């Protein structure tokens, strides 16, 4: 699933390609989205910009209309020049935003809707998001307090977008490893310093993966690193490394499946001992 860093880079790239350009075509196979576009035509409007909010991409059009998308597991945005051949089959297309210079295509995007800019603060999902960890003005101490007050395990609290927005399964495991905290420990047992370290580490790792690059290419799978290594085998500390040796202590990395979504947690039993 794309996480906060990927969504941030996706929105930034869409913004660079589309912002300030007039919409020349719009298409969607999604009935509610297509119906809205028929009732409120987008062709002729200007794309005012694109931004991320946690794991959501918001594309803003003149007139106060916003297209909200969430990638879930398989959604992707692609950019093409007009007339360029798509790299995926048309059957996977959900939305197309065309301009004179670029065409943005949303493939397999499962969550798509139009909302009005004035309604964002009342939106049932967006209004309940915790602070976006990639926002420049995050109050880290407030987020740390929210983390300690969350119910359940630390790993569950980190994934709860109502506590903080942007962390997914990869960063959850990586942040807990870097901070040396047992994933299954109750969040309520964290002391102030531990909670603050988790928040600051999460922000640092996310920021390190959105390093600015003046490019029109969208993020590639596997381009994320938390170890600062360029070796494809050691890009991450623990995630995806179950059964392999810990890069720090050599102990075998453990993996556990949890919940209806069968999310995987990776950890080192030595580096992340229970407090």
Are 145 and 195 a contacting pair, CB within 8 Å? yes
Residue 222: the pLDDT is 54
Sign of CA dihedral 27, 32, 33, 35: positive
Are 75 and 93 a contacting pair, CB within 8 Å? no
Residue 217: the pLDDT is 52
CA angle at 156 for the pair 151 and 159, rounded to the nearest 5°: 120
Q: For residue 2, indicate whether it is catalytic.
A: yes
User: What does the DSSP 8-state code read for residue 207?
Assistant: H
pTM recorded for the entire structure:
0.91
List beta partners, residue 77.
106
Per-residue pLDDT of the chain (275 residues; tens, 9 = 90+): 679 999 999 999 999 999 999 999 999 999 999 999 999 999 999 999 999 999 999 999 999 999 999 998 889 999 999 999 999 999 999 999 999 999 999 999 999 999 999 999 999 999 999 999 999 999 999 999 999 999 899 999 999 999 999 999 999 999 999 999 999 999 999 999 999 999 999 999 999 998 765 555 555 555 789 998 888 889 999 999 999 999 999 999 999 997 666 789 999 999 997 75
Are 218 and 102 a contacting pair, CB within 8 Å? no
DSSP strand pairing (254-258 vs 65-70): unpaired
User: For residue 204, what are the CA distances in angstroms to 122, 161, 170, 187, 211?
Assistant: 30, 18, 14, 21, 11
Reported in sequence order, the residue ranges of the chain that DSSP labels E, i.e. its strands, are 25-28, 47-53, 56-61, 65-70, 76-80, 93-98, 103-107, 111-116, 254-258, 263-267
Q: For residue 3, indicate whether it is catalytic.
A: yes
CA 174 to chain centre: 15
Residues 144 and 62: their CA atoms lie apart, in Å, by: 37
Residue 274: the pLDDT is 72
- Look at residues 119, 267, 246 and name the one whose alpha carbon lies nearest to residue 184: 267
Burial of residue 43 (number of CB atoms within 10 Å: 0-12, 13-18, 19+): exposed
Q: Which domains does the chain have, with CATH numbers?
A: 4-128 (3.20.190.10), 140-267 (1.10.8.50)
Residue 263: the pLDDT is 86
Catalytic residue among 2, 131, 183, 219: 2
Catalytic residue among 3, 140, 155, 174: 3
Catalytic residue among 55, 140, 155, 174: 55
Residue 262: the pLDDT is 73
Q: For residue 172, indicate whether it is catalytic.
A: no
């Amino acid at each position: 699933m794309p996480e906060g860093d990927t969504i941030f880079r996706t929105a930034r790239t869409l913004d660079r390609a589309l912002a300030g350009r007039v919409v020349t075509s719009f298409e969607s196979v999604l009935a509610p989205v297509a119906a809205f576009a028929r009732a409120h035509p987008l062709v002729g409007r200007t794309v005012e910009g694109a931004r991320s909010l946690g794991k959501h991409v918001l594309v803003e059009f003149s007139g106060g209309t916003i297209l909200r998308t969430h990638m879930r597991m398989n959604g992707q945005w692609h950019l093409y020049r007009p007339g360029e051949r798509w790299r995926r089959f048309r059957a996977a297309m959900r939305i197309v935003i065309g301009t004179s210079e670029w065409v943005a295509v949303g493939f397999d995007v499962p969550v798509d809707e139009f909302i009005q800019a004035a309604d964002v603060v009342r939106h049932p999902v967006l209004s309940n998001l915790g602070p976006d960890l990639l926002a420049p003005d995050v109050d880290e101490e407030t987020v740390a307090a929210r983390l300690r007050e969350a119910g359940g395990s630390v790993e569950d609290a980190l994934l709860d977008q109502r506590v903080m927005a942007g962390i997914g399964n990869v960063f959850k495991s990586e942040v807990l490893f870097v901070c040396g905290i047992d994933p299954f420990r109750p969040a309520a047992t964290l002391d102030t310093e531990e909670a603050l370290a988790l928040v600051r580490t999460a922000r640092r790792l996310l920021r390190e993966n959105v390093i600015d690059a003046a490019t029109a290419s969208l993020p590639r799978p596997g381009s994320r690193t938390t170890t600062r290594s360029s070796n494809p085998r050691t890009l991450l500390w623990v995630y995806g490394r179950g059964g392999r040796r810990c890069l720090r202590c050599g102990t075998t990395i453990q993996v556990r499946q949890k919940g209806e979504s069968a999310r995987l947690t990776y950890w080192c039993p030595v580096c992340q001992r229970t407090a």
